Chains A and B, each alone.
Chain A
Amino acid sequence: MEKNNFRVMLAGNPNVGKSTLFNLLTRKNQHTGNWTGKTVDFSTGLFTYNGRSYSLTDLPGAYSLLSFSPEEAVTRDHLLSESSDCVIIVLDATAVERNLRFALEVLSVNQNAVICLNMTDECEKNGIFIDSEKMSAALGVSVVKTSAAGKKGIALLLKEVEAVCEGNKKPESAELSLIDLSTADSRSSAVSLLTQISKRIIKDCVTIKSDRRNESQQRLDKLLTSKSFGIPAMMLLTALLFWITLVGANYPSEWLSALFSLIKSGLNELMSLLKAPEFLRGLLIDGVYTTLSWVVSVMLPPMAIFFPLFALIEESGYLPRIAFNADSAFAKCGVNGKQCLTMMMGIGCNACGVEGCRIIHGRKERLIAILTNTFMPCNGRFPILIALIAVFFSGGAEPKSTLLSVLILMGITTLCVAMTLLVSKLLSRMIGGDSSSGFILELPPYRKPRIIKTIVNSLRDKALKVLGRAMLVAAPAGAVIWLTANISINGSAVLDHCVGFLEPFGKAIGVDGVILIAFILGFPANETVIPAMLMAYTQSGTLTDYSGYGQLSELFSANGWTALTAVCVMIITVFHFPCSTTCLTIRKETRSLKWTLAAFLLPTALGILLCAVINCLYTIFA
């Protein structure tokens, strides 16, 4: 280990602001949210202070070192095994009683620590006053009051961390050193001793005006979970989210594509100036560049609106309330209401959703949540739905057609949720194993989202992520599609052979060969599905530039699409095999090839089945 590089860890209960502090110190952009279990794996970043460099590890939240849940095990193992120079124990001052227990547990195994009493401004507003000096004396380590969200107290915290790292501060609590958590025998006496110490410290150092939450929080909860308003509020919020996304995404999409086609003609001129061979020009511009620009112009605008809005809701603390409201439906299907949280994470990214399933304790419930997570359309697939709805069901921007789009999106979302519940119920009957792990979930306080910061962060993260993925995946995919469309075997293009091969199967479920090829080529990233379709339809370089939904409509109609085709494509968009990243994550999380395969086949089979049913119904009734 380098002498100049100190190792610092962040530990604490879930949802106490560790990731916010981590981001603040390392200037990274770890995603934060206001609910338990947002961070399930640890991440590491660097920062410098007083000319020294520090590596900082953000551990997943844990309630106790004695626990055995997977996400808490990561934290425990790190605290016990890794040699760190300092542990920053982050406590949520508003729930100091529960948090202090954890701090004591950590201190009993590692006293090279600084206590960071976070969210102190919120806590004083709620009538809780903590004497940090007294607490520091009682614990034998420094206690610093901070507000990571408001950036208060950070300088002092760093000073204390430095002092601990350099060995200038020796821990002084003899009492805590006596506690032995390592063996099962000593554990029960250790636990009762910890409880005693914790009670005494609370009594000595903390003044609490009331054990009740403040009035507005209580009123909000009563309203948002009430019988008459709870569920409608949920629907209304979803509708609003969709409405803003649809209205907002229309114009930027057109501006972007206008910009890209301008650049394209410039690039074409450059190519002819350089006397580049036609093959190279076609590959780079008609293949790679066009796919890239489609990905950005079709996919980016809806994402750039939907995800900041979703992040704001996440930050507010409303998501666990949705899980709370919906739990009884999940209970009836033999699964856990926390699955609702992982489904909502899945809307962002299914790989994240699958990883997030660690918050579900029951092995079987967790497995089911993993298998069904891709039933929620992720940010790579969501814009496909938006584009198709705009093209086929509500072209204009007038309020009436936007309303129709919102209703269709709500319908699709309802179908996704219904299928998740239905399949969960079936799986829960088929898979043997442990019974319900129950529903035990902390409902965090509502917090006013930091609006600008949240929007900027999620825009930058999403925008960067999308562009990064577009570069990595869409570019080679564009090249592959162009090559298959332009290399001929036996007189016709490779792409035509593939399309022809899949055509009968596609027709049987109401789509065509091109659509199936597009989904198969979209395996590395679903963002490329629509570009792949367009490329295949307009192959051999004769392609018209995409400029807005109007032209998409023409192109699709020219290739035999009807409203029924669009419905089937939307269904396949939602129900088909997970993307490669998600498959790898499922493999990692389940540690089983069998279940990964099941997660691959299950949505695919469901999608085919649903399309077949819809086509049957259509032929009967129309």
Chain B
Amino acid sequence: MKLRFPLWTLPLGKSGIISSVNSESATAERIRNLGLTEGAGVRAVFFAPFGDPRAYEVNRSVVALRRKQASEIIVETEEEDGEKQFQGHAGGES
């Protein structure tokens, strides 16, 4: 089974596949222009000192997103031990 959740909750170092970008159209366009398109593989690579924004790697380039934008992007991963990983407190945020 596949798990779907907002990109923001993707823990540091984990990856997923983007299934939808739900921001309003101008923002969504800017997000897609940077390579964060449906079907692209994305990985959470590092977080800012205060936890927000966070940086995501897609096709070897890195894009920084604030919580708001990263929450509007939905990613999916294979389940594995996902249940435990993706329960809210992901990412060690303050």
Contact = CB atoms under 8 A, between A and B. Distances in A.
Contacts of A331: 52, 66
Chain A interface residue number, banded: 35 or more
Interface string B37-56: 10001010111111111010
A328 B31 CA distance: 19
A211 interface: yes
A439 B69 contact: yes
A438 B43 CA distance: 20
A128 B61 CA distance: 13
B82 to A, nearest CB: 20
Contacts of A180: none
B47 A327 contact: no
Contact of A222 (B23, B46, B51, B63): B46
B14 interface: no
User: Which of A68, A97, A436 has most B Cβ within 10 Å?
Assistant: A97
Given A225-B49, A331-B66, A337-B53, A361 B59 contact: no
Contacts of B31: 440
Contact of A67 (B33, B46, B51, B59): B33
B75 to A, nearest CB: 15
A211 B59 contact: yes
A230 B49 contact: yes
B55 A64 contact: no
B27 interface: yes
A545 interface: no
A67 B33 CA distance: 9
B37 A227 contact: no
Contact of B45 (A66, A218, A227, A437): A218
B49 A442 contact: no
A221 B45 contact: yes
Nearest to A98: B35
Given A67-B29, A324-B55, A443-B55, A98 B61 contact: yes
A585 interface: no
B61 A442 contact: yes
A63 B48 contact: no
A53 B61 CA distance: 37
A325 B49 contact: yes
Contacts of B43: 212
B63 A443 contact: yes
Contacts of B35: 95, 97-98
A213 B60 contact: yes
Interface in A46-82: 63-64, 66-69
Given A95-B35, A324-B53, A436-B68, A225 B60 contact: no
Contact of A440 (B52, B59, B63): B63
Interface string A435-469: 01111111111000000000000000000000000
Contact of B64 (A97, A226, A227, A443): A443
Nearest to A64: B33
A414 interface: no
Contacts of A327: 48, 52-53, 64, 66
Nearest to B34: A442
Given A211-B41, A442-B34, A227 B49 contact: yes
A16 to B, nearest CB: 11
B29 A95 contact: no
24 contacts: A64-B29, A64-B33, A69-B30, A95-B35, A95-B60, A97-B35, A98-B59, A212-B57, A213-B61, A227-B49, A320-B64, A325-B49, A328-B50, A437-B27, A438-B65, A438-B66, A439-B66, A440-B34, A440-B63, A440-B64, A442-B63, A443-B55, A443-B63, A444-B61
Interface of B: 23, 26-27, 29-31, 33-35, 37, 41, 43, 45-53, 55, 57, 59-66, 68-69
Given A128-B60, A221-B46, 15 more contacts: A63-B30, A69-B30, A97-B35, A98-B59, A211-B41, A222-B46, A225-B46, A320-B64, A324-B64, A328-B49, A438-B23, A438-B65, A440-B27, A440-B31, A443-B62
